[in-house]
Amino acid sequence: MIFFSVDWGTTNCRIKLVKISQGGVTLLGSEQAAMGVSEVYNGWLERPRTDRADYYLTRLRPYLEKITADLGLPMQTLQETPIVISGMASSSIGIEEVPYSMVPFELDPPKINLKIMEAFGNPQVILLSGLRTEGNIMRGEETQLIGCWQQTFASERKTFIFPGTHSKHIDVAHATVRDFRTFITGELLSLLTNFSTIKTNVSATKPADMDVDCFNTGLLTGKKTDLLENIFTVRCNEVLNKLTKSQNYDFLIGLLLGHELKYLSGGDEIVLCAGIHLAPVYNLALELLGLANHTTMVPPDVVEQSAILGQYKILEQLNSLHLQQSEKN
Q: Give the pLDDT of residue 149.
A: 92
Q: Are 243 and 207 in contact (CB under 8 A)?
A: no
Average pLDDT over residues 37-60: 94
Q: How many angstroms separate the CA atoms of 223 and 191, rounded?
A: 21
Instruction: State the Cα–Cα distance between residues 34 and 40, nearest whole angstrom.
Output: 10
Q: Across the chain, what does the average pLDDT equal?
A: 94
- pLDDT tens per residue, range 154-204: 678 999 999 999 999 999 999 999 999 999 999 999 999 999 999 999 999
Sign for the pseudo-dihedral over CA of 265, 270, 275, 279: positive
Q: Global pTM?
A: 0.93
C-alpha closest to that of 127 among 167, 166, 99: 99
Spans of all domains in the chain: 2-153+303-328, 182-301
Neighbours of 193 (CB within 10 A): 19
163 and 186 Cβ atoms separated by less than 8 Å: yes
User: Percent of the chain scored above 70 by pLDDT?
Assistant: 97
Categorise residue 301: left if φ over 0, alpha if ψ from -120 to 50, beta otherwise: alpha
CATH architecture of 182-301: 2-Layer Sandwich (3.30)
Backbone angles phi, psi at 92, to 5 degrees: -65, -15
- The percentage of residues in the chain with a pLDDT greater than 90, rounded to a whole number, is 89
What is the average per-residue pLDDT within 16-40? 94
152 pLDDT higher than 90: no
Asked if the 2-153+303-328 domain carries CATH number 3.30.420.300, the reply is: yes
Which positions ≥6 away from 75 have C-beta within 8 Å? 65, 68, 69
Question: What is the mean pLDDT of the segment spanning 229-237?
Answer: 95
Mean pLDDT to the nearest integer, 51-61: 96
Q: Are 16 and 300 in contact (CB under 8 A)?
A: no
Question: Residue 162 forms beta bridges with which residues?
Answer: 168
The pLDDT of residue 266 = 82
Q: pLDDT-derived band of residue 327, with 50, 70 and 90 as boundaries? A: low
Q: What is the pLDDT of residue 177?
A: 97
Task: Report the distance separating Cα 240 and Cα 231, nearest Å.
Answer: 15
At 93-150, the pLDDT tens digits run 999 999 999 999 999 999 899 999 999 999 999 999 999 999 999 999 999 999 999 8
Return the pLDDT at 324.
55
pLDDT: which is higher, 329 or 311: 311
Long-range contacts at 295-298 (CB < 8 A, ≥ 24 apart): 295/270, 295/271, 296/152, 296/158, 296/269, 296/270, 296/271, 296/272, 297/271, 297/272, 298/148, 298/151, 298/152, 298/271, 298/272, 298/273
The pLDDT assigned to 19 comes to 97
CA 175 to CA 170: how far, in whole Å? 12
Distance CA 170, CA 145 (A): 9
Residues 28 and 5: their CA atoms lie apart, in Å, by 11
Judge whether residue 153 has pLDDT over 80.
Answer: no
Q: Is it true that 2-153+303-328 and 182-301 share their CATH fold?
A: yes
| C-beta of residue 273 within 8 angstroms of C-beta of residue 286 | no
pLDDT band at 320 (very low <50, low <70, confident <90, very high): confident
Q: What is the pLDDT of residues 272-295, one digit of tens each?
A: 999 999 999 999 999 999 999 999
